[in-house]
Structures are given as C-alpha cells and as structure tokens.
Amino acid sequence: MLRVPGQLSVQQIQPAADRLTIRAELASSEAACPDCGILSRRVHSRRLRILADLPWQGCPVHLHVEARRFHCDCAACPRRTFAARLTGVARTYARRTERVRALHQCIGLAVGGEAGARLVERLAMPVSADTLLRAACARADDAKPPSVPRVLGVDHWAWRRSRRYGTILVDLERNRPIALLPDRTADSLANWLKQHPGAEIIARDRGGADAAGARDGEPAAVQVAGRWHLLGNLGDAVRSAVECCHAIAKRVAREIAGNADPATTPEISAVQAPTVIAPEHVSHASFRRRSLFDEASRLHAAGTSIVRIARQLGVDRKTLRRWLRAGTSPTWRQPRRARMIDAHLVLLERRWAEGCRNASLLWRDLVDAGFRGRYSTVKDRAARRREAEAGANAKQPDRQSRWEPPTSRRTTRLLRADGDAIDPVDGRFIARLLETSPDLAATVAAAKRLVALLRRKGDEALADVLAVADATMIRSFVVELRKDLDAVQAALKLPWTTSPVEGQISRLKMLKRTMYGRASFRLLSARVLHAER
C-alpha cells in the first residue's frame, strides 16, 4: 500500500516507467507566521517543491508538493509574507523527505559513503557518496549529548601507529562508546571530565597521561588499572629477564639439541624416488564428488532415504541414485594425451641414472635418437626432476637436529605455560634452564604468583607478592607498579577492566580501515558513536 506523510493531501498519482510521481498539497488551508505566530488564510502565491520519497515496489517516488505563501495580517509584524512550513515532511530547502533523510543517515553511518551509494541505488533512493557522509555527520551533530556514565573506560587508538594517537571513552555498564578525543594528552581527558562530571569509576591503562587526566578532571573517582595491561606489562618484564639470560639459554639449548630423545620426535614417512613422469593430481571437483559419495554411502547404509540424503548434501536425487547403483562416483577424467617425449623416456631415465644432469646434453642425446621436440621441453622436465630430488632430500633431516631452540618470546611463553601443555623436549629445555639459572627460576615463580593474583586465582596479599618479586629480575616492573598501587588494588577488588574498551577499539579500527584511513575526525566520531543508535 502506498503511504504518504499524513500532513499532505494527495491530488494525483502519475505512474511512469522509471518513477512514480505523486502530486500533493498541505492538508491544512492555513498556516502560522513564524515571527508573530498568527494564523493566516490569505494565499499570496504558490510554488512547486519536488521531494524524493521512499520507493514503492522498487520504483523511485517523487512528491510534487504545492507549497503556499501566505500574507501576514498582523500590522505589527515585520514579515509581510511567509511560506508554509512542511513540518514533519521535509526541512526548509530540502530535496528529500525526512523519512528518506533518516534512512540515508542510517546507511551512511553503517556502511559509509561509496558502499552506501551503491546500496541506496539498488534500493531506488539514489544519492551520492558525499551526500551520505554529510547526512551521517549531520546525524551526529543533531544527536543529544551523551549521559555521563557511572563507570568510564579510557584507552587509546592509533591514527598512525607510533606517530599519533587518539582517546576513546566507553560506558562500561552499557558497553557503548560515548566520546572520541583527537589526542591522548592528560589535558584533553581532564577537560572532558570537567565538562561531563559524574563518573565514579574510571578504568584505564597504566599510562601516566590517563592517570593524571583522571586525577585532574575527576579527583573523587576511583581509578582502576586494566588487568589486561598489567598482564601484558608483566609478560614484557619476564621476557626482558629471559633476554638477560640469553647466554645460559643458548648453552642449555645446545645441550638439549645434542641429547634429544628420538622417541619424542615424530617419524618422517619414506619419500618415494621421483620419476620423470609427473604424478597425476586429483582435481578439487573430483575430491568433492568423492567426499559426497562417501557421505551418501554412509547415510544410505544407516537407512536414510535418498530424498533426505539429496536434500542434506545438496545433490540431485537422480544423480545420487546413479552413484549408489554404480558403487562409485564418476571422475570424468580425460585420457592423458601422448606426448612426443614419451617414446624416449627409457633413454632419458638411463642417461639420468648415469649421472647426466645437463639439459643440453640430454636434449642432444634425444635428438640423435629421433626426438623432434624443442630444447625447452627437456629443460623443463629436467628442472622438475632436480626440484623433486632436492625436496626429497630436504624432507629427511637428521632426527636429532629437528628440535630448534626457542626464541626469547617463545621461551617466555613456555616459562609461563603449564607443564602439561608443552612438548616434552621443550619441557626438558625449560626444566634445565630453570635449574641452571636460579635467578630466572625465582623470577618465573614470582611472576606466576602475580599472574594468579591478577587473574583472581590466588588468595595471597598483593604486598606479600610484590615483596617477593622485588628481589627478582622484575624489580623494575614492581617499582613502576607501586607508583600506581591504588589503581592496581582497585583492579583486584572491582570487576571493571578495560577489556570492553579494547573491543570497541577493534571496531573503530575496522571502521577506519573501511574508509581507507582517510576519514576526518568528525566522520569517524559519527560512525563510531552513532551507528548503533
């Protein structure tokens, strides 16, 4: 059913091949002066406004509205004439109705300019990409200011990594971004908090700028250090300790590599000697047909009907019945065409076995035997044979040299992992490394206690754990942690963290990349903050 705005009275509908034209006028015969507010019925003149409206049955709809201009009868009013406003239908000077404008705003916020322009063209509401972006920004400008959340999450996102950063503020109770700041300075955060007072809890990373900005902007708020950042910083500290013991780790790795148990390493299947004739590969289509036939045979043996099997596998039931009757799936493989070199394979194999690897010499011998092919044919076949032999030799290394010493990053992961979750050879390497370096063993033990505490799996007091870790190789990390001790203790007591903020940053990066990184701050803010509203 065709619907037009209720403020309009339809006069005529004119269908055409490429559009539907609706002629209408305002249902009311009077209008109020915008200055004095007095109603007037005296018509001064009329003009035609053409507005794009929602499509109907995939066809664009244009509203031809007869807009009236009235006389103002109030002698004290400075305005002598005024145009009747299309309130609720379209804005002043607009070329689209309000409902089309709202839909364009939603599409622009959701998918952007170029993709949105392609979409609205398919929806019979064509506009340019720039128009969609302007509509999206206008939606953000018209939006109400966000309410100040009780629990605020703060983190940074990169305009350009290692060069320029911005700040994102998230309502952690509703998991919704509420503001973007163009930089990550303490003054910007403090100014925003002063303009929007009321936050009781602020979850942030361990950066000094966020701590200073939260302290200056909202002194009464409880600051919570993000546990994700704490665990990441702890991992970096342990890795620095591992790098300090690189000489010991290298010596232990040589010992383990020289005494690796062959039983702990996987067997390597024997590689067949390559032949001159290349192996025949099974195509993807043949493999899919074979898989479908195996599944159909299993279901049919279980008593499933052919109709249900065909519906489940997406295969025509006649084809399926033919496969089951034949007992196999057809390959439709074309017979291999005879090649000119096939008649000389025996000579080629004999010369290769004698040690001749030169393609020119092989080609001359074949020409003397009656071969009429080109030199490139023999050269390509000889190259494939050499590659096959090299690959076969590479797949048979020494069994005791397969274990490679882990890097410092991987060693750190192995030290922090559970003993049952790592490879036996890696486990012996870690055990030997901790036995050789008591300082590193004490560091890893203290780090694991701190990890258990941050993951809320330990009942120890934070002060006791830090006192033990202060005597290990992660002392510098403990010193920095004590500078922000109140926020760390709040992270252990309160459930709030910056993990939801990291998720919103991932969404921001996705939107930024869909705009090829060239979005302005205004447009990026609009799409991040208002696309879901």
Question: What would the pLDDT profile of 293-348 be if each residue is shown by its tens digit?
Answer: 888 888 888 888 888 888 888 888 888 887 887 776 665 555 556 678 888 888 88
Whole-angstrom Cα Rg for the chain: 38
Nearest CA among 177, 93, 100, 180 for reference residue 132: 100
pLDDT at residue 202 above 90? yes
Tell the burial category of 17 from Cβ atoms under 10 Å away from its Cβ (0-12, 13-18, 19+): exposed
Q: DSSP labels for 33-88?
A: -TTT--EE--EEEEEEEEEEEEEETTEEEEEEEEEEEEE---TT-S-SEEEPP-TT
151-226+497-530 and 287-331 share one fold: no
What lies within 8 Å, CB to CB, of 396 at 6+ separation is 268, 271
Write the pLDDT tens digit of every residue in 487-513.
Answer: 999 999 999 988 899 999 999 999 888
Q: How many residues would you count in the chain?
A: 533
Give the per-residue pLDDT at 9: 84
pLDDT at residue 215 above 70? yes
* CA gap 48, 24 in Å, rounded: 10
What lies within 8 Å, CB to CB, of 148 at 6+ separation is 196, 197, 198, 199
What lies within 8 Å, CB to CB, of 487 at 6+ separation is 204, 206, 211, 223, 224, 225
What's the whole-number mean pLDDT along residues 198-218?
A: 89
Per DSSP, which regions of 172-305 are E strands? 176-181, 201-204, 222-225
pLDDT category at 292 given cuts 50, 70, 90 is confident
Q: Could you state, in order of their start, the residue ranges of all structural domains in the chain?
A: 8-95, 106-142, 151-226+497-530, 287-331
* CA gap 160, 423 in Å, rounded: 39
Contact 191, 217 (CB under 8 A): yes
User: For residues 288 and 27, which has the higher predicted lDDT (pLDDT)?
Assistant: 27
Task: Report angle CA 272, 275, 277 to the nearest 5 degrees.
Answer: 135
What's the whole-number mean pLDDT along residues 96-112?
A: 91
Considering the domain 151-226+497-530 in this protein, what is its CATH number?
Answer: 3.30.420.10
Hey, CA dihedral for 439, 443, 449, 452, is it positive or negative?
A: negative
Structure tokens at 53: 């409206």
Structure tokens at 421: 């979750």
Q: DSSP labels for 271-337?
A: PPPP-SSPPPPPPHHHHHHHHHHHHHHHHHHTT--HHHHHHHHT--HHHHHHHHHHTS----PPPPP
* CA gap 298, 295 in Å, rounded: 5
DSSP state of 31: E
**Domain 287-331, what architecture?**
Orthogonal Bundle (1.10)
pLDDT category at 274 given cuts 50, 70, 90 is very low
pLDDT at residue 475 above 50? yes
| Percent residues over pLDDT 70 in the chain | 89
